[in-house]
Structure 1
Amino acid sequence: MRVFIRIFPLLATLTASFCVQAESLSARLADPLATEAMLPLRSASALAARVGERPCASELPASPLTPLDAVDLALCNHPQTREVWASARLQAAQVGVARSGWLPSLDGRAGVTRNFTDDSQLTQRNAALSLSWLLFDSGQRSANIDNARQLLDAALATRDATVQSLFLAALQTYYRAQATQAAVQAASDAERSARESLAAAELRYQVGIATPADRLQAQTAASQARLNTQRAEGDARNALGALANALGFPAQTPLQLAALPAVAAANEFQQDVDALIAAAQVRRPDLKAAEAQLRAADASIAVARAQGRPTLSLAAGPNWQRFEGETTRTGSIGLTLNVPIFTGFENTYRVRSAEAQLEARAAQRDRLRNQVALDVWQAYQSLTTATQTVQTSRDLLASAEQSERVALGRYKAGVGTVLDLLSAQSALASARVQRIQAELDWNIYRATLAQAMGALDYSLLQAAEGRP
């Protein structure tokens, strides 16, 4: 019993070690050519990793939802991120397929044959191993690997472009939800002002200073303000449902959004637009994908040309045969030179097809390069306009608030008309909406410019929130 107690920990250690080694061996056998090592981290994890925080979220945070949280959830839960990751893994596996062409192949064969006659039966058994190895192929395998690597680069760049598009879409949905909540507050403020005007009109009507028309106009304005509030609340509920859906949750999921910091609307982005376009043409992942596809098409031409050239192969293997109780062992080894002489012009047209594909990829790359320049130009001009309108809308709101206070004071004092008051309140409500729209445009166009330049990542949001 004591011996068993002493041996048991050793057996447990050996068993655990064996399990670990078995898992390691299983992993190596699953990917013997180490193609998974060519892949970076998963899309969402790579972008979402932040100091001291969970890299990929799947549940709503306990605190109010910030833009950072919204992007985390959208990237982690959106099916398209899994789709582009699977596409990248597929292309990495194709690199493994191309690499396998450099290795020999070994086949085994065994058989039993039984022959019957009228007075006897004979049994023959045979087995063989066959080793085949392509020694020379005029560069076809190298070109295949180059083609597969370039397609992998294209898949990874496409993955980055898709993630940035989802990043921008999540931000746009979040900012719109924030704007609709701000619109509810603005509509509520306008309704409160309209009710205050109605109360003043009622008071003046009761003391005989105001006419019934003044009272009815104030009542109409108050009802319209209430209607606007109800519509704004409905828009806000729809926007929150759209945001929940974008984050991978049911539309009815309750969301509490964090208050956004005040829009600085600084001109820090003001740079030479030519320099911005040049930087975008270096950084844009979709343009990188087009460049990689162009290089892959060039490698396909080399593959097509090599397919019409000579190859040299090695074949070897032993054979065993047992018949009538006797075993015969034989073996063979040989070299085979294959020289294509005439293939019905198949190789000619295969090369022409690959060259046409290269021209098409080059045209697609050039078209995308022009689109990148247009995207940056439009986003830059939109952000410039939004920056200007943010300050203008604030000035407009300040003057509208002062005008409404003066008009209300004059009306209560009996020296102003109800039309002047209602006009001032309508202008104030419009100014509030324009300020909300200006700040929404600034937030969205700032992210749009970053995405147009291929630079949309968490640093944009972390800087806005003052986080590391």
Structure 2
Amino acid sequence: MKNKFRFAIVPLFLLPFCLLAQVRQDSLPPLLNLNQCIQYALQNQPAVRQAGIDEAINERDIGISMAAWLPQVNSANSASHYFKGSPQAANGVANSSISNVSIIGIQATQVIYNNDVNLASKASKYSREYYKDNTISSTINVITDVSKAFYDVLLSQRQLDIIKEDIVRLQRSLKDARARYDAGVADKTDYKQATIALNNSMATRKQTEEAIKSKSAYLRQTMGMPAERPLTLAYDSTRFEGEAIIDTNQILDYTNRIEYRQLQARRNLTALNIDYYKYGFLPSLSANGAYNLNYFSNSLGNLYNQSFPNAYVGLSLNIPIFTGKRRLQNLSKARLQTDRADLDLVNSRNQINTQYVQALASYKSNYNTWQLLKQNVSLASDVYNVVSLQYREGIKTYLDVIVSQSDLRTAELNYFNALFQVLSSKVDLQKALGTVATVNK
């Protein structure tokens, strides 16, 4: 009975943990919008996590460099046996009978001024900025890639919906054409043309379905999502139409671009080398001290019976006198590297301006196209409905039905292409302005 009770009670204790694990695993909603995909990617995308690790590694490197400012304490110990001769005894008189010597001591040094440590202290600020910006850069790239991949999958899904609707219309047209042929009202070319159009649409449907699988796999990759996890995207046409609008009167600020800030941080790090080599002639000053216990004995067994301590404190001054003009050559090299970094900033500003102009022109063009094509959908739908009704009444030919149906399908496809082109070009414009990370927080 006790064993049965144990087997019955153990699952009760494990049940909460199993439920907790299940909740964590299924924490994502069944339908994912763009913000949820981005948040998932920022938590799971390896590139973002690697950038965070690089930032943490840089902090450890700074700590390693700054450790030289703190006291360095070491224990120096030795034990020696002399076969011939002897060291100076504790009383200052040479004693050739002393053959065993041991020294146990502790030494400490404290840097007062050192050019290398001074450089590491100044460089820590700019290296932090660089790696912090590197993390932001990875975040921006992930947000951009996920957004475009998200829109690409939704575009293909909307295309698939249009093709399915077109197949329904073609099947109905084929049925009508066959009925008219069987009734002797029309010849067989009508339903054969309908069959050809239907087969073409069914082939296009298969291609689109496979394209959705491929694009969904890429979206999973950009999100850092496992392949076996289901991915269903939420579509809201009203929301997307509202999100497609952006203020095109924003002023370009180069410092908002993360690439420009990274170049600035790199330039500042390079400029520090000028001061480093400029003041390379300054001496290095450090304080040092030690406390030692000296042991002398001819007998190994009595070596540690009596100690002779000594202690000292002092200063060490290292003055560079002549280094074969190496310092001057390094100084000249550092200045040239700084001049080159300044030119990198100039070139970066030119590139950023070009990217902004191109992104703005692309957005305005796509937005204008989207506004115009929005009207074509309703117009093409009205035309198709009228022509289809007139064909059933024998007023229009089947060729008119095919043309109107093709126009409707093209108008719907063009509309969704234009809508998602506007959304993608908006992402490019935000990236060019340097506001991607800000608006997606």
Q: TM-score, normalised by structure 1?
A: 0.79
1:294 has 2:274 as partner = no
> 3-state DSSP class of the match of 1:277?
coil
1:155 has 2:146 as partner = no
> 3-state DSSP class of the match of 1:237?
helix
Q: What is residue 161 of structure 2 aligned with on the other side?
A: 185
1:389 has 2:364 as partner = no
Check the 8 A contact 1:242/1:251 in 2, yes or no. Answer: no
Q: What is residue 251 of structure 2 aligned with on the other side?
A: 276
> 3-state DSSP class of the match of 2:219?
helix
Taking a change above 3 Å as real, the CA distance of residues 318 and 63 of structure 1, as seen in their structure-2 partners, is same
Check the 8 A contact 1:58/1:73 in 2, yes or no. Answer: no
Shift of 1:336: 2.6
1:349 has 2:316 as partner = no
Distance in 2 separating the partners of 1:434 and 1:381: 20
> 3-state DSSP class of the match of 2:82?
strand
> 3-state DSSP class of the match of 1:264?
helix
Bigger Rg, structure 1 or 2: 2
Taking a change above 3 Å as real, the CA distance of residues 378 and 60 of structure 1, as seen in their structure-2 partners, is farther
Alignment of 1:120-159 (within 5 A): 122-137=99-114, 140-159=116-135
Q: What is residue 166 of structure 1 aligned with on the other side?
A: 142
Q: Deviations over 1:220-269 (max 9, x none)?
A: 11111222222222222222222223322343533221123423358863
| Percent identity (aligned) | 19
Taking a change above 3 Å as real, the CA distance of residues 458 and 306 of structure 1, as seen in their structure-2 partners, is closer
> 3-state DSSP class of the match of 2:52?
helix
Distance in 1 separating the partners of 2:420 and 2:381: 21
1:419 has 2:419 as partner = no
Alignment of 1:211-226 (within 5 A): 211-226=187-202
Aligned length: 399
Shift of 1:311: 2.1
> 3-state DSSP class of the match of 1:381?
helix
> 3-state DSSP class of the match of 1:112?
strand
Check the 8 A contact 1:161/1:284 in 2, yes or no. Answer: no
Alignment of 1:283-362 (within 5 A): 283-324=256-297, 325-362=305-342
Code of the aligned partner of 2:394: G
Shift of 1:132: 1.8
Check the 8 A contact 1:157/1:289 in 2, yes or no. Answer: yes
Shift of 1:66: 1.3
Taking a change above 3 Å as real, the CA distance of residues 314 and 266 of structure 1, as seen in their structure-2 partners, is closer
1:406 has 2:368 as partner = no
State the Cα RMSD in Å: 2.4
Q: What is residue 61 of structure 1 aligned with on the other side?
A: 28
Q: Deviations over 1:92-123 (max 9, x none)?
A: 22322332232222221111223358xx9843
Check the 8 A contact 2:241/2:419 in 1, yes or no. Answer: no
What are structure 2's unaligned runs of at least 5 residues?
Answer: 1-23, 85-96, 298-304
Distance in 2 separating the partners of 1:210 and 1:343: 102
Give structure 1 regions of 4+ aligned residues with deviation exceeding 6 angstroms. Answer: none
User: Which sits farther off after the overlay, 325-334 or 283-292?
Assistant: 325-334
Q: Deviations over 1:127-186 (max 9, x none)?
A: 22222222234x553332122221221111121011111111011111111111111100
Check the 8 A contact 2:366/2:421 in 1, yes or no. Answer: yes
Q: Deviations over 1:352-393 (max 9, x none)?
A: 222222122222222222222222222222221222122212
What are structure 1's unaligned runs of at least 5 residues?
Answer: 1-56, 462-468
Code of the aligned partner of 2:112: L
